[in-house]
A = this chain, B = another copy of it.
């Protein structure tokens, strides 16, 4: 194409190179850095982020984009320009005063929250949180008015940061279907389950667990020439082309926690590693959104690692690396991973009740941002929904209720739905994989996931951001996100126990 488009690619290449630096400085901060480094590290990251923001919102970029958008071009370039404009607009539409004020209010609120949650102190939290809500509403309105053709509500404009392309209307439809079934399913399954029978004879050394987790990553297709496994307080995945880094955490009493986290993060890393190199550094070449990202991690965790066939295969490795588990069968392990029961805490929730925790948060945060609910009214709304969905009251119990998550403290509204969209998408994708690979069970039983990699690379990873989220799901599975597949998966796994 024209010279301006080449200049655009060079400009986004520069942004990608800055982003690379921030990515690995943050990885180091969480994984390697001694405490004393925090001051200079934070300053350096802030400087690079400011440079990134300046380049992304620059007049130079705006003019190049306008120039290119006025010219004839092929579909791929058109799409590439659309994604460039989208991220440019996202950077441009928030006044820097608001960015700073939100960052400050978020830090204050998050810092206070760490103690207030322990102290069950909602009133003190509310004092800081009101300002976070206030500024997030301003942000949402600014984002909506900058792209009112794409966002029906202010909340939709925040959703666009994480669930890009999936509107609150779509999400609500999906959640309505889940809400109709999940409370009953949770009850039915939890009442029918016998108590956990697994007996683990720890402690399990960190070094042995690390080798076992690397073994798992290898079976799940991770390439150690292009990545690493390390430890951190909270498992995460990050990186850049050719260098994908995941972390997990090791508990000496329980080896399953790390394995599940590792499988999960390997899914995230596989998606990133599978993005096409032809669009390197360009917005069109990025992962689509968090709903697709989470579908990859949950597919690896819940559908590959926790499948009967793969887990049977992998139990041999568990016995090999952790000899104390020689008496522990695949059934023991599955029993420990599959307990379903209503609980207060989202991050500890099982696969069946987890979406209800998310739906509750989606309903509250969307109303909050759209001005239909005030911060002070959250505890009551929380208690109502917990009682309706899971039969648990959180009245007066803020610690295990609306103070349990970190997400809202810094104003990350719009993130929660991606967890459940991801779960729903993962079941739908895995069902499609099974349809196209009738011998899937046999292959997983041999520890072979190459067919999954090939299929995902073809249908999801290679698409990057060249299509909308729903278009990607549709071309891969024949329809847009449909919760029926997820519900069928739950029934199959927990009721029919197939």
Contact = CB atoms under 8 A, between A and B. Distances in A.
A242 B39 contact: yes
A21 B20 contact: no
A20 B41 contact: yes
A438 interface: no
A40 interface: yes
Interface string A234-253: 00000111110000000000
A227 B34 CA distance: 6
A204 B94 CA distance: 58
A51 B55 CA distance: 13
Given A28-B28, A32-B228, A228-B32, A21 B48 contact: yes
Interface stretch (A138-146, A218-226, A371-379, A457-465): A218-226
Most chain B CB within a 10 A radius of its CB, from A32, A39, A227, A228: A32
A95 interface: no
Contacts of A225: 34-36
Interface string A192-203: 000000000000
A317 B41 CA distance: 34
Nearest to A19: B44
A47 interface: yes
A17 B47 contact: yes
| Highest count of chain B CB atoms <10 Å: which of A38, A43, A241, A243 | A243
Interface string A24-40: 11001000111111111
Contacts of A24: 24-25, 28, 41
Contact of A242 (B14, B40, B48, B224): B40
Interface of A: 14, 17-18, 20-21, 24-25, 28, 32-41, 43-44, 46-48, 51, 223-228, 239-243
Given A21-B44, A24-B25, 10 more contacts: A17-B44, A17-B46, A20-B43, A20-B44, A34-B227, A34-B228, A36-B223, A36-B225, A36-B243, A41-B243
